[in-house]
């Protein structure tokens, strides 16, 4: 006899993004259609074809950890800790000796501590192996965002890290959702974090021509627009507190939305290009909708992966048509990467938050910089201005290098 699946809800959210160093400021800027993209300052822009990035401004890790601890963390771990502490505070979840073993952490990063690796490699070359920091490895490895959050909060349940490139945040939340649904935990702090605006990461993305070379920060990230020419690299973290419904109700927690569906597939096609027609992404959406128990017509909003690259936007549009049929033309879709840039492994975590806030507040974020329609991208991308809409459910897509596809479905809690 199979046990009924437990219901899972989101009770807290936390974020550090190019639009703001908390959820409130990020959401406000998003709905106003503001861009977090600006001139590239972390590295010398003269060295790169890409001239813009979505950098985080005014982030102070010492608001969350003391200086000594902050210096033992790469930026991606600092962002994860900050967003996690915000999410847990928002949820009102108290972690004690009694419940610690039932509260987990599942936070991924696509790249991990790239900045630490670069700096320490320079030390190795210039000063020799004896001068490399003893903290190199624990600062660099991608699982250390989850590790640091677990240590800081005393969460002793499942402690895991998903690494699936740009699908990382969505896969992390989906995997954590399934763990709670099975009864493996009562609550899991989950999402993604990334700090990839470094010399080496930029060089790599420029070399494979993935980044926009548009020098105008106000126009460079333009998903679904005919004149898009690549993504704008961004950084940050998006973390949610996932909680088993009865556990949340028993402590009187606020509920943002219910997590009801998760789909994950592989393209088995190419290391960087999506499969033709978005076949893998379409299957992920179908699985997530089937898992949710909803019909395609119940979905009122799609937060698209929408990177502003030629193939992604075209093939994701084709995948949405494949899944939703004629209804695709009535379905509002937006790419919030038009404002945040592409946060790589953190994108899915941040976009999960945007999706549940769209349900909660009844307003859909826009796709900004949408000026010239593309015949291949002919759906409703909520162009340039946010839109009020009372929606029952939202779907969020993430697609990653290596052929990773992940989709989450969120529903208004009833």
Distances from the Cα of 33 to the Cα of 28, 76, 313, 360, angstroms: 9, 26, 20, 19
In the sheet where 404-411 sits, what is the strand order?
A: 159-160, 103-108, 187-194, 236-244, 8-16, 257-266, 404-411, 393-400, 299-303, 333-334
Strand partners, 53: 38
Whether 161 sits among the annotated catalytic residues: the reply is no
Domains of the chain: 8-405 (3.40.47.10)
The predicted structure's pLDDT at residue 45: 95
For 24, 58, 79, the CA distances from 18, given in Å and listed in that order, are 13, 10, 12
- Beta 404-411 vs 363-364: how paired, if at all? unpaired
* Distance of alpha carbon 32 from alpha carbon 22, whole angstroms: 16
Q: What burial class does residue 125 get, using C-beta atoms within 10 Å of its C-beta: 0-12 exposed, 13-18 middle, 19+ buried?
A: exposed
179-184 contacts at long range (C-beta below 8 A, 24 or more positions apart): 179/104, 179/106, 180/6, 180/8, 180/242, 180/243, 180/244, 181/5, 181/6, 181/7, 181/8, 182/5, 182/6, 183/3, 183/6, 183/244, 184/104, 184/157, 184/158
**Tens digit of each residue's pLDDT, the chain (414 residues):** 667 899 999 999 999 999 999 999 999 999 999 999 999 999 999 999 999 999 999 999 999 999 999 999 999 999 999 999 999 999 999 999 999 999 999 999 999 999 999 999 999 999 999 999 999 999 999 999 999 999 999 999 999 999 999 999 999 999 999 999 999 999 999 999 999 999 999 999 999 999 999 999 999 999 999 999 999 999 999 999 999 999 999 999 999 999 999 999 999 999 999 999 999 999 999 999 999 999 999 999 999 999 999 999 999 999 999 999 999 999 999 999 999 999 999 999 999 999 999 999 999 999 999 999 999 999 999 999 999 999 999 999 999 999 999 999 999 999
Cβ distance 394 to 382 under 8 Å?
no
Asked if 87 contacts 239 with a C-beta cutoff of 8 angstroms, the reply is yes
What pLDDT score was predicted for residue 4? 84
Q: Which two tokens stand for residue 383?
A: 């162009």
Indicate the SS3 state at residue 402.
coil
Does pTM top 0.85 for this prediction? yes
CB of 305 closer than 8 Å to CB of 350: no
Residue among 353, 398, 344, 342 at smallest CA distance from 76: 344
Active-site residue identified among 161, 166, 206, 377: 166
**Cα 29 to chain centroid, rounded:** 17
| Residues 334/381, Cβ–Cβ less than 8 Å | yes
Residue 136 CA to residue 73 CA, distance in Å, equals 9
pLDDT of residue 3: 75
250: burial class by Cβ within 10 Å (0-12, 13-18, 19+)?
Answer: exposed
Determine the Cα–Cα distance for residues 131 and 223; give it in Å rounded to an integer.
45
């Amino acid at each position: 006899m199979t046990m009924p699946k437990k219901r899972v809800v989101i009770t807290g959210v936390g974020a550090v993004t190019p639009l703001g160093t908390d959820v409130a400021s990020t959401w406000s800027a998003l709905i106003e259609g503001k861009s977090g993209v600006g001139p590239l300052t972390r590295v010398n822009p003269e060295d790169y074809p890409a001239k813009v990035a979505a950098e985080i401004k005014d982030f102070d890790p010492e608001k969350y950890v003391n200086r000594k601890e902050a210096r033992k963390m790469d930026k991606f771990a600092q962002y994860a800790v900050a967003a996690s502490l915000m999410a847990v505070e928002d949820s009102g979840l108290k972690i004690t000796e009694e419940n610690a073993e039932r509260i987990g952490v599942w936070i991924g990063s696509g790249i991990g501590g790239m900045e630490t690796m670069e700096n320490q490699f320079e030390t190795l070359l210039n000063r020799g192996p004896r001068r490399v920091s003893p903290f190199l490895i624990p600062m660099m490895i991608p699982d250390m965002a989850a590790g640091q959050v677990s240590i800081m909060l005393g969460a002793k349940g499942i402690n895991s890290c998903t690494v699936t490139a740009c699908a990382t945040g969505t896969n992390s939340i989906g995997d954590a959702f399934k763990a709670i649904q099975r009864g493996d935990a009562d609550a899991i702090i989950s999402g993604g974090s990334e700090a990839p605006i470094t010399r080496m990461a930029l060089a790599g993305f420029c070399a494979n021509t993935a980044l926009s070379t548009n020098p105008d920060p106000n126009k460079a990230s333009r998903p679904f627009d005919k004149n898009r020419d690549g993504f704008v690299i961004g950084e940050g973290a998006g973390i949610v507190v996932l909680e088993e419904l009865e556990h949340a109700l028993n402590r009187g927690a606020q509920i943002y939305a219910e997590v009801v569906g998760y789909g994950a597939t592989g393209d088995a096609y190419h290391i960087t290009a999506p499969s033709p027609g978005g076949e893998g992404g379409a299957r992920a959406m179908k699985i997530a909708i089937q898992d949710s128990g909803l019909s395609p017509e119940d979905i009122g909003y799609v937060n698209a992966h929408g990177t502003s690259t030629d193939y992604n936007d075209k093939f994701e549009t084709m995948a949405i048509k494949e899944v939703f049929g004629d209804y695709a033309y009535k379905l509002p879709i937006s790419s919030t990467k038009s404002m945040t840039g592409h946060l790589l492994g953190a994108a899915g975590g941040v976009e999960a938050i945007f999706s549940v806030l769209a349900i909660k507040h009844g307003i859909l974020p826009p796709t900004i910089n949408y000026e010239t329609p593309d015949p291949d991208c002919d759906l409703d991308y909520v162009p340039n201005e946010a839109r009020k809409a009372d929606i029952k459910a939202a779907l969020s897509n993430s697609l990653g290098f290596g052929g990773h596809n992940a989709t989450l479905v969120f529903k208004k809690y009833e």
